[in-house]
């Protein structure tokens, strides 16, 4: 690797500017200097894309115990009870704090407006601006960060690897996308909050930057990863040619939307008594099986029983987006298909974000705390980023007290206000999704994973994926680019998903094996664990 041009020093380094990274950075700023590295614009993250809401017990009709039970039921026997308890108990405190920091959730009059989603036993989902909850939370967190003098954000800084010295993580290397130069940040502790890995799949709901970078660099450095076989697919994404895989929210089914196959018949009763309100994994599989059975690229979501006025008011962003692709939800059937949505597995951590590597912490979708089990309950992910981001910040400041690393000069300046054009520089290089020759290799990985390691899997297909990925040669380039690094990361993680899926010879949560269609608690009521250079194993 070429020597870094500059070395920066901070008490704490945070990689990622979504809800988990920003919340951790704000927490850490009370203990020392913080540098947040974002690989794109500061407000470009999976959080900002999160259309769903945030689940929290703040209404008089709800109880902490019910939220915990719903989470555990969805997790299909693999949730870690302690992590679930912390999520639901600490959620209200952190949501209240967000509101104090200016986050505006939807209200009915003066009261918070709660909605209900599939598999929740009460109405406990908060939304902001219709379906822009994540964007509103990001806005408030960035505005808060702006008021803190020694919290610095650097946009367009792509983290390429961890610096490990004497068995401890001591910083990161990053690539400046403006000029391709490489730098390093030395820090007392590092937090990875880089989101998920949706770009491994052809059909996915994630932003282009969801290339699993944090998971991949942690694995490369020797950290333990867990539960990689569990990739949650969103059941109903808009399947219109030329349109991105836009989520048609579960709330649409909650408001009476029904699923029909290509012959226009309702099919969910064949798969679940709860029909359209069944848990996400059941609906996803039902749609995949129906598409397979009818040899069709999609099914339909039918909302034509609802008035245009109702749909526009209740789902403004969804209605507008569909309209921009020539679909009127009040009169047209919307073609939908499943798409990769959320990585349940990730870097194994305790409930404080600590990983198996001293000095390394994780939060949000990059982490595997066990809170989601084998299948995430809808709208728990933003809450997880918030709660465990704050907890990781607390643990880092306790484990790695600030030293004499207060920065003289930091890359970038203190946090610019959201929307400030100085951070919104045009990306000089697009991600792996847009670059050749990385492009051809990426297309091959995505095609392979979508076909053989997607919603419906079997041992024969997974073994084939492992073999093909192991023998695949990635293109080499003289000067490493962000695209080349992203390709390397996606390739490594695709292999881990396939290997973990092959080892789990049962069906549970979001992992379905046609050759092992039943859950096997005796052998597999445990978490898969994988570490570089070691055999995959299962442990409690």
Q: Which long-range contacts link 270-279 to residues 24+ away (Cβ below 8 Å)? A: 274/118, 277/118, 277/119, 277/253, 278/118, 279/74, 279/118, 279/119, 279/375
Same domain for 333 and 480, yes or no, is: no
Whether the per-residue pLDDT at 409 is higher than 90: the answer is no
100 falls within a domain: no
**What confidence tier does 413 reach under pLDDT thresholds 50, 70, 90?**
very low
**What confidence tier does 411 reach under pLDDT thresholds 50, 70, 90?**
low
77 falls within a domain: no
Whether the per-residue pLDDT at 472 is higher than 70: the answer is yes
Give pLDDT tens digits for 164-219.
999 999 999 999 988 889 999 999 999 999 999 999 999 998 888 999 999 999 99
Give pLDDT tens digits for 247-280.
898 889 989 999 999 999 999 999 999 999 887 8
Predicted local confidence at residue 82, as pLDDT: 97
Q: What is the mean pLDDT of residues 114-124?
A: 87
Whether the per-residue pLDDT at 464 is higher than 80: the answer is yes
Q: What is the largest CA-CA distance in the chain?
A: 68
58 falls within a domain: no
* Percent of the chain scoring above 90 in pLDDT: 77
Same domain for 172 and 205, yes or no, is: yes
Sign of CA dihedral 462, 202, 206, 45: positive
Task: Give me the CATH number covering residue 147.
Answer: 3.50.50.60
Average pLDDT, the chain: 90
Q: What is the mean pLDDT of residues 484-502?
A: 97
C-alpha pair distances (Å), 513 with each of 398, 495, 501: 43, 17, 8
Predicted local confidence at residue 331, as pLDDT: 96
Predicted local confidence at residue 415, as pLDDT: 47
Whether the per-residue pLDDT at 305 is higher than 90: the answer is yes
Q: How far apart are CA 95 and CA 92, in angstroms?
A: 5
Helix axes of 438-452 and 459-471: crossing angle, nearest 10 degrees: 170
Whether the per-residue pLDDT at 322 is higher than 80: the answer is yes
Indicate the range of 39-48, 53-62, 231-240, 414-423 predicted with least confidence: 414-423
Give pLDDT tens digits for 201-212.
999 988 889 999
Same domain for 254 and 153, yes or no, is: no
Same domain for 317 and 446, yes or no, is: no
Predicted local confidence at residue 51, as pLDDT: 66
Residues 6+ apart with CB under 8 A from 52: 117, 125, 131, 133, 247, 249, 250, 378, 379, 381, 382
126 falls within a domain: no
The helix (H) or strand (E) run that includes residue 122 is: none
Predicted local confidence at residue 422, as pLDDT: 36
Task: Specify the pTM.
Answer: 0.91
Same domain for 496 and 387, yes or no, is: no
Predicted local confidence at residue 393, as pLDDT: 98
Same domain for 487 and 374, yes or no, is: no
Q: How far apart are CA 219 and CA 209, in angstroms?
A: 19
C-alpha pair distances (Å), 231 with each of 27, 45, 345, 365: 30, 19, 7, 11
Indicate the range of 69-73, 280-284, 368-372, 440-444 predicted with least confidence: 280-284
182 falls within a domain: yes
Whether the per-residue pLDDT at 287 is higher than 90: the answer is yes
Whether the per-residue pLDDT at 230 is higher than 80: the answer is yes
Q: Residue 434: helix, strand or coil by DSSP? A: helix
Q: Which domain holds residue 441?
A: 432-521
- Please tell me which residue, 47 or 353, carries the higher pLDDT value: 353
Same domain for 373 and 253, yes or no, is: no
Number of domains forming the structure of the chain: 3
254 falls within a domain: yes
Cα 140–144–145 angle (5° rounding)?
115
Whether the per-residue pLDDT at 431 is higher than 80: the answer is no
The helix (H) or strand (E) run that includes residue 321 is: helix 316-324
Q: How far apart are CA 516 and CA 208, in angstroms?
A: 33
Contact between 159 and 15 under an 8 Å Cβ cutoff? The reply is yes
Predicted local confidence at residue 302, as pLDDT: 97
Give pLDDT tens digits for 36-91.
999 988 777 777 667 678 999 999 999 999 999 999 999 999 999 999 999 999 99
Q: How far apart are CA 259 and CA 301, in angstroms?
A: 5
Among all residues, which ones are annotated catalytic?
Answer: 280
Task: Give me the CATH number covering residue 240.
Answer: 3.90.700.10
Q: What is the mean pLDDT of residues 139-161?
A: 94
Residues 6+ apart with CB under 8 A from 360: 162, 169, 189, 190, 192, 218, 221, 223, 347
Same domain for 355 and 328, yes or no, is: no
Whether the per-residue pLDDT at 425 is higher than 50: the answer is no
Nearest to 126 by CA among 277, 284, 251: 251
Same domain for 447 and 497, yes or no, is: yes
C-alpha pair distances (Å), 67 with each of 151, 222, 274, 369, 435: 34, 35, 19, 17, 43
Predicted local confidence at residue 371, as pLDDT: 98
76 falls within a domain: no
**What confidence tier does 316 reach under pLDDT thresholds 50, 70, 90?**
confident
Same domain for 248 and 215, yes or no, is: no
C-alpha pair distances (Å), 318 with each of 249, 252, 315: 8, 10, 5
DSSP state letter for 332: S
Rg (CA), the chain: 22
Contact between 238 and 246 under an 8 Å Cβ cutoff? The reply is yes
H-assigned helices in 361-476: 381-399, 438-452, 459-471
Same domain for 140 and 30, yes or no, is: yes
The helix (H) or strand (E) run that includes residue 13 is: strand 7-15
Tokens of residue 419, six digits? 């929307």
Same domain for 189 and 223, yes or no, is: yes
Q: What is the mean pLDDT of residues 142-171?
A: 95
Predicted local confidence at residue 103, as pLDDT: 94
119 falls within a domain: no
Task: Give me the CATH number covering residue 488.
Answer: 1.20.58.100
Whether the per-residue pLDDT at 467 is higher than 50: the answer is yes
Predicted local confidence at residue 476, as pLDDT: 86
Predicted local confidence at residue 434, as pLDDT: 58
Contact between 267 and 227 under an 8 Å Cβ cutoff? The reply is no
Nearest to 281 by CA among 406, 376, 188: 376
């Amino acid at each position: 690797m070429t020597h870094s041009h500059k070395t920066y020093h901070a008490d704490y380094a945070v990689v990622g500017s979504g809800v988990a990274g920003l919340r951790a950075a704000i927490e850490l700023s009370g203990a020392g200097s913080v540098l947040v590295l974002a690989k794109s614009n500061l407000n470009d993250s999976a959080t900002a894309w999160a259309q769903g809401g945030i689940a929290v017990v703040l209404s008089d009709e709800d109880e902490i115990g019910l939220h915990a039970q719903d989470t555990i039921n969805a997790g299909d026997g693999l949730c870690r009870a302690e992590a679930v308890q912390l999520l639901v108990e600490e959620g209200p405190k952190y949501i209240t704090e967000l509101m104090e920091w200016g986050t505006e959730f939807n209200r009915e009059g003066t009261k918070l407006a709660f909605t209900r989603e599939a598999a929740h036993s009460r109405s406990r989902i908060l939304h902001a601006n219709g379906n822009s909850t994540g964007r509103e939370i990001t806005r408030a967190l960035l505005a808060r960060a702006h008021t803190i003098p020694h919290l610095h954000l650097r946009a367009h800084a792509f983290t390429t690897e961890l610096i490990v010295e004497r068995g401890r993580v001591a910083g990161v290397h990053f690539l400046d996308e403006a000029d391709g130069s490489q730098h390093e940040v030395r820090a007392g502790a590092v937090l990875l909050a880089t989101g998920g890995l949706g770009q491994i799949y052809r059909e996915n709901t994630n932003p282009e930057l969801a290339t699993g970078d944090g998971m991949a660099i942690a694995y490369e450095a020797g950290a333990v990863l867990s539960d990689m076989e569990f990739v949650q697919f969103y059941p109903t994404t808009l399947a219109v040619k030329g349109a991105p895989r836009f989520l048609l929210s579960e709330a649409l089914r909650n408001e009476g939307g029904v699923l029909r196959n290509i012959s226009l018949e309702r099919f969910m009763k064949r798969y679940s008594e709860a029909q359209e309100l069944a848990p996400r994994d059941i609906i996803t599989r039902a749609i995949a099986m129906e598409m397979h059975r009818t040899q069709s690229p999609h099914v339909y979501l039918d909302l034509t029983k609802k008035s245009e006025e109702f749909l526009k008011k209740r789902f403004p962003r969804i209605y507008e987006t569909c309209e921009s692709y020539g679909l009127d939800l009040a009169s047209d059937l919307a073609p939908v298909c499943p798409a990769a949505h959320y990585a349940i597995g990730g870097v194994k951590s305790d409930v404080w974000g600590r990983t198996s590597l001293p000095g390394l912490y994780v939060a949000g979708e990059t982490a595997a705390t066990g809170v989601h089990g084998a299948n995430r309950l809808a709208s728990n992910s933003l809450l997880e980023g918030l709660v465990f981001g704050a907890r990781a910040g607390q643990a880092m400041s306790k484990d790695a007290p600030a030293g004499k690393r207060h920065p003289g000069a930091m890359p970038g300046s203190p946090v610019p206000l959201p929307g400030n054009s100085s951070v919104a520089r045009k990306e000089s290089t697009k991600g792996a999704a847009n670059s050749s020759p990385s492009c051809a290799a990426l297309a091959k990985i995505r095609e392979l994973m979508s076909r053989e390691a997607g919603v419906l899997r079997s041992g024969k297909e997974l073994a084939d994926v492992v073999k093909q990925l192991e023998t695949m040669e990635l293109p080499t380039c003289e000067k490493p680019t962000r695209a080349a690094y992203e390709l390397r990361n996606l390739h490594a993680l695709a292999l881990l998903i396939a290997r973990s899926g092959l080892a789990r010879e049962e069906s549970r949560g979001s992992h379905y094996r046609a050759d092992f269609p039943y859950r096997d608690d005796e052998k597999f009521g445990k978490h898969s664990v994988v570490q570089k250079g070691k055999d995959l194993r299962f442990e409690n």
